[in-house]
Amino acid sequence: MAQITAGRPSATEIKFAVTMPSKVTQFLIVTPIMSIEETLMNLCESWQIQDASAYALSDMETTFYITETNRSKLRNGSVLTLSESPKKAVQKMINRLNGDDQERREALQQLASKAMDITFVEHFIEQKGVELLLTFLESGKM
């Protein structure tokens, strides 16, 4: 198991905080060889969260998901949030898009803000979200 440590980071380590409602904030140091998935699994274990795959780390300021692809944007002092996984978030959004007019409108507003996060967009495309939007446009539901 990879080690999450507290203390002073070396030049190649990143020190950041992770928050989650009703949990004590964790202050972590992650080395370049530790994957984001490992960090997430260790964090979930320390908070006694059973299904780490239902969660992801996201930047508190931008709300973008943190992945191996964009981990280089993490800086010392970053504050992350343990949030629902992009897959789970997209599933919820698609359900809301299929809901009544008010739910659809709210989901579209949320989609507009999430559309800048490539990780979210990839999952949205994977789960046929774009096709759903096109169906709505063609049928006049938007």
Contact 2, 34 (CB under 8 A): yes
What is the pLDDT at residue 47? 94
- The Cα–Cα gap between 4 and 91 comes to 31
What is the pLDDT at residue 72? 87
Whole-prediction pTM: 0.82
What is the pLDDT at residue 81? 95
What is the pLDDT at residue 108? 92
What is the pLDDT at residue 125? 96
What is the pLDDT at residue 5? 47
Among all chains, which residue has been given the structure tokens 């795959």?
53
Mean pLDDT by 10 residues, the chain (142 residues): 48 88 90 90 93 94 91 90 96 94 92 94 95 88 68
What is the pLDDT at residue 7? 52
Tell me the backbone φ, ψ of residue 91, rounded to 5 degrees: -60, -45
